[in-house]
Amino acid sequence: MKEQFTVYLEPDLMRSLTEYAERRGKPKSLVAEAAIASFLSPDASERREATLARPLDRITRQMERLERYVGISDETVALFVRFWLMSAPSLPEQTQPAACAKGAERYESFLQALGRRLAKGPGFIQEVRIADIFVG
């Protein structure tokens, strides 16, 4: 014995159900019952997993790209700091306060330039991508 169950469907979905049932010459309730049974069957979880796999793959590729960009940034900063530390001469003690003041001024200018560059959009990463085309 079957039990009655009322379901509210969006108009488009109801139209699709009606058209499908008419094409097959079956009652809408039978089509809906088969769809629900299919959804609840063990292979339904496999279909849901397949549905999720594509967006997850895209997210994985995006994360890999981000990881690459962060690695490029890390290596760039490390290379710059290493080069700067090897080439910058030590300052005499009496000139250090003036050098610190000048350093703070230059750091502020650097932050402003960085802000302007970031406001323009992706610059460095685009340059790296173009370099990849010529190298790789």
Domain map of the chain by residue range?
92-136
pLDDT at 28: 93
**What tokens does 109 get?**
């200018």
Q: What is the pLDDT of residues 95-133, one digit of tens each?
A: 989 988 998 999 899 888 888 887 887 666 666 665 565
The predicted structure's pLDDT at residue 134? 54
Note the pLDDT tens digit of each residue in 21-67.
999 999 999 999 988 887 777 776 777 777 788 889 999 999 998 89
pLDDT one-digit tens code per residue, 58-106: 999 999 988 988 888 888 889 988 888 888 888 888 998 998 899 899 9
What backbone phi and psi angles, to 5 degrees, belong to 6? Answer: -100, 135
Which residues touch 72 (CB under 8 Å, ≥6 apart)? 125, 128
Instruction: Answer whether 31's CB lies under 8 Å from 17's CB.
Output: yes
